[in-house]
């Protein structure tokens, strides 16, 4: 059983290159992991090997503008574009059916993808992301792009990790510029431009996609999180009998980072049901 990550890439129809990480062996049941906005595939580096160790083939792409994937000169970073890119990745990998797990913006993308293509998604996990009352987070309106030092960059994540930050996070979020300053690994500047021009990170009108889900869907919410309201998660369950909810206490928005063992256990139990 192979649980170490391997990296590969492919070219989208519009010419941009998408990079992705894979864990596990060919022929295993497939799981696709979608990261949150401004993050990348390395964000799954704790969860993915644990999933692969149970006999699953796990793939996590750097969505366009993220990690090692090409930045989009037109800054097309919306959910519809992510949904299209994921579908091209699925075709490239030759997947027929698979389990789909998404976090935050990746969770919204997973919801849209599963609602549009129920024949491909076996089970769907939505981590701390779904219908929201806002569409443009303040972080995209006031983002700092370049930091004087890594300490300054890490300090900027204090709001995201109020209970402490895993030691691998800085290297997965930031990179050093030639002049020694620090910037994001993902195209945060492009996301700021896109949002300012009217881009909707959390896609308006997501509720119809929630209602349209016909695959078993687990919503995993951090008990201390504030970005995805508890009321919205509960309403998802009320609207659709295929949706269930689990809350992991002691975690905020990044449940899989702050409580990886609890998150992985919940996901594995759901996928095995």
Query: Which residue range is the domain that position 45 belongs to?
Result: 6-136+199-272
Say whether pTM exceeds 0.85: yes
Q: Is residue 194 part of a domain?
A: no
148: left (phi over 0), alpha (psi -120 to 50) or beta: alpha
DSSP code at position 192: H
Q: Is residue 228 part of a domain?
A: yes
Q: Is residue 108 part of a domain?
A: yes
Q: Is residue 59 part of a domain?
A: yes
How many residues in total does the chain contain? 273
d(CA 126, CA 111): 7
State how many domains the chain has.
1
Q: Is residue 174 part of a domain?
A: no
DSSP string computed for 29-49: PEEEEEPPTT--GGGGTTHHH
Q: Is residue 236 part of a domain?
A: yes
Q: Is residue 128 part of a domain?
A: yes
Q: Is residue 163 part of a domain?
A: no
- From first to last of the 273 residues of the chain, give the pLDDT tens digit: 566 899 999 999 999 999 999 999 887 899 999 999 889 999 999 999 999 999 999 999 999 999 999 999 999 998 999 999 999 999 999 999 999 999 999 999 999 999 999 999 999 999 999 987 655 555 556 788 999 999 999 998 877 787 777 888 888 889 999 999 999 999 999 988 887 777 665 566 789 999 999 999 999 999 988 788 899 999 999 999 999 999 999 999 999 999 999 999 999 999 998
CATH of the domain at 20: 3.40.50.1820
């Amino acid at each position: 059983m192979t649980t170490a990550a391997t990296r590969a890439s492919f070219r989208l129809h519009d010419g941009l290159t998408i990079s992705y990480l894979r864990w596990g062996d060919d022929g295993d049941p497939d799981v696709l992991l979608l990261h949150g906005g401004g993050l990348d595939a390395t964000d799954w580096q704790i969860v993915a090997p644990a999933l692969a160790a149970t006999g699953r083939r796990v793939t996590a792409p750097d969505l366009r503008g993220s990690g090692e994937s090409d930045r989009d000169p037109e800054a097309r970073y919306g959910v519809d574009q992510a949904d299209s890119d994921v579908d091209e990745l699925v075709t490239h990998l030759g997947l027929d059916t698979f389990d789909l797990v998404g976090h935050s913006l990746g969770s919204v993308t997973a919801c849209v993808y599963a609602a549009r293509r129920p024949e491909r998604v076996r089970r769907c996990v939505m981590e701390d992301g779904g219908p929201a009352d806002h569409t443009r987070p303040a972080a995209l309106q006031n983002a700092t792009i370049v930091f004087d030092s890594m300490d300054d960059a890490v300090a900027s994540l204090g709001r995201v990790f109020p209970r402490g930050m895993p030691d691998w996070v800085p290297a997965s979020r930031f990179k050093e510029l030639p002049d020694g300053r620090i910037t994001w690994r993902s195209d945060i500047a492009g996301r700021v431009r896109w949002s300012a021009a009217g881009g909707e990170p959390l896609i308006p009108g997501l509720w119809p996609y929630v209602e349209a889900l016909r695959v078993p869907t687990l919503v995993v919410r951090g008990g201390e999180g504030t970005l995805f309201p508890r009321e919205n998660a509960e309403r998802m369950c009320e609207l659709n009998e295929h949706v269930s909810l689990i809350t992991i206490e002691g975690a905020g928005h990044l449940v899989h980072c702050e409580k990886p063992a609890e998150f992985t256990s919940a996901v594995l139990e759901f996928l095995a049901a």
